[in-house]
Structure 1
């Protein structure tokens, strides 16, 4: 069931991004408030209904992954406070990838928190220009630019207050698409959490992308690499990709393993791989006409 749902989502995102169809309606829908909650250990959801944002708390300050849309920033700040934490204690801002719906709020979040922004080289230019890299079927979505304080490479780590995050860079969705891997202690057990960047087509032009000519090869390398990663908990920047709210309902009902699913990443990656190959064929056929 999960795989069929994911494949439908992947195809939808690849063929006709929601914001391209009706940007204002989609932004309102994505930005609806959602209650914050603790997922596992020191990992907390502080995003909005359609966009994930993740707070990782430590005794020496906190780490925030993703900023949603520009209009999401106030809700993220409010959610941090609702969980009993201070936004000014956020020391590091991370980004999974430089699209408006995940990087748009970073500028305001940095202004409020004073945190340092750490990102990949592949996405630094997009973050600092406020424009995503690569040609898409929906044009250009501008967002408030931010200065990247530190560039991180694939396999490098970030440490704060006993927490260590490892960057896993998987280009394709964007040139610097970055997953973050985190070991977490939860209920006397050790879990690995993966903050999943994306591998959806997301409106990318796969054929004739003069701004990103290696996009097809990057996607294929990414599918191969992600398919070999083992993780216990997958958290995505679009909640529906990993069934976030359905799992939250199970958690509320007492299921301590609601978010633990070692098969989830493989199912997500395979769904996106199939959608990619279908969309690549469609675009190549269209290019030949």
Structure 2
């Protein structure tokens, strides 16, 4: 997680004119890490990891069809499709595509996979124009952050659900990272136990401008605060997120063993993570506010 925050902070400095590497150089370095391939695997029950080494994508399977949550960079779409096939599932059986938030590293393959699968595209209502425009909010002219536009078939708000084959996913508005950032909850079987699962959107500051001229979007600071307040009401057994390092996917994956307790079941992990994000947000806001006042 710390690596992600440092990289994101460095990117923000580059965008605002700090003397370091350019945004292009930094993006190239990050993309190289993000695009590295990895083997797909079962996380728990019918939830599978089909993303790259650095960007998460999740396949939820059912007898009536599947759900794919997020993709990766545009050039990694073939990896995701190959991973799904390697697990024995068909792209044509994906009925719903869900996007947590409209940034290139999680939307790059949506248009292609939607075309290949015929799936319905679902996303947060306030991210719909971003997905259909293929641009980063507040930096619509930055080519490095653009992605293939995708038509949103259904825009969701707080409490809306997606159901298929006995699986129900519930949408939760967690704005800030993007205006329509949407987290999703569901349950998964773990032996005889039912585990609550949270697919968290994100609440990092990343490239977002929180203060001064050119803020990313009006109301962004209040949106982050709403999300942090919401996070205190959630207590999932399993945290899943868009970037593997956010929840130590590599470490947990290495501990998977037949008959052993599932290492992804960590009650309280999300709350600790969210508390740390809130502190980092406060620090970022203070720094940006101080810089804007100079």
TM-score bracket, shorter-length normalisation? over 0.9
2:84 maps to which of 76, 80, 88:
80
**Aligned-pair Cα RMSD in Å:** 1.9
Match of 1:203 in 2: 207
If asked which structure has higher relative contact order (CA below 8 Å, sep 6+), I would say 1
Q: Say which SS state the counterpart of residue 169 (structure 2) adopts.
A: strand
Aligned counterparts, 1:69-218, within 5 A: 69-135=73-139, 141-208=145-212, 209-218=214-223
Shift of 1:77: 0.3
Shift of 1:288: 1.2
Rounded Cα–Cα distance in structure 2 between residues aligned with 1:97 and 1:78? 23
Shift of 1:139: 7.8
CA contact (8 A) 1:135 1:212 kept: no
Distance 1:12 1:255, change over 3 A: farther
Q: CA offsets per residue over residues 8-44 of structure 1, 9 Å max, x none?
A: 6435424536993522232122111110000011000
Corresponding position: 1:38 with 2:32? no
Rounded Cα–Cα distance in structure 2 between residues aligned with 1:83 and 1:228? 35
Q: Say which SS state the counterpart of residue 280 (structure 2) adopts.
A: helix
Rounded Cα–Cα distance in structure 1 between residues aligned with 2:171 and 2:9? 25
Match of 1:285 in 2: 290
Match of 2:11 in 1: 16
Q: CA offsets per residue over residues 44-92 of structure 1, 9 Å max, x none?
A: 0000000000000000000000011111211000000111111110010
**TM-score normalised over the length of structure 2:** 0.91
Shift of 1:181: 0.3
CA contact (8 A) 2:100 2:124 kept: no
CA contact (8 A) 2:45 2:190 kept: yes
Distance 1:268 1:139, change over 3 A: farther
1:237 maps to which of 239, 242, 260:
242
Match of 1:275 in 2: 280
CA contact (8 A) 1:14 1:204 kept: no
Q: Say which SS state the counterpart of residue 181 (structure 1) adopts.
A: strand
Consecutive unaligned residues of structure 2, counting only runs of 5 or more, are 15-21
Rounded Cα–Cα distance in structure 2 between residues aligned with 1:70 and 1:34? 16
User: In the comparison of the two structures, how many residue pairs are matched?
Assistant: 283
Corresponding position: 1:48 with 2:43? no
Q: CA offsets per residue over residues 115-156 of structure 1, 9 Å max, x none?
A: 1101111100000000122359x8861100000011111111
**TM-score normalised over the length of structure 1:** 0.93
Shift of 1:255: 3.5
CA contact (8 A) 1:77 1:87 kept: yes
Match of 2:267 in 1: 262
Q: CA offsets per residue over residues 189-219 of structure 1, 9 Å max, x none?
A: 1001111100000110001344512111111
Consecutive unaligned residues of structure 1, counting only runs of 5 or more, are 1-5
Rounded Cα–Cα distance in structure 1 between residues aligned with 2:287 and 2:43? 39
Rounded Cα–Cα distance in structure 1 between residues aligned with 2:216 and 2:52? 31
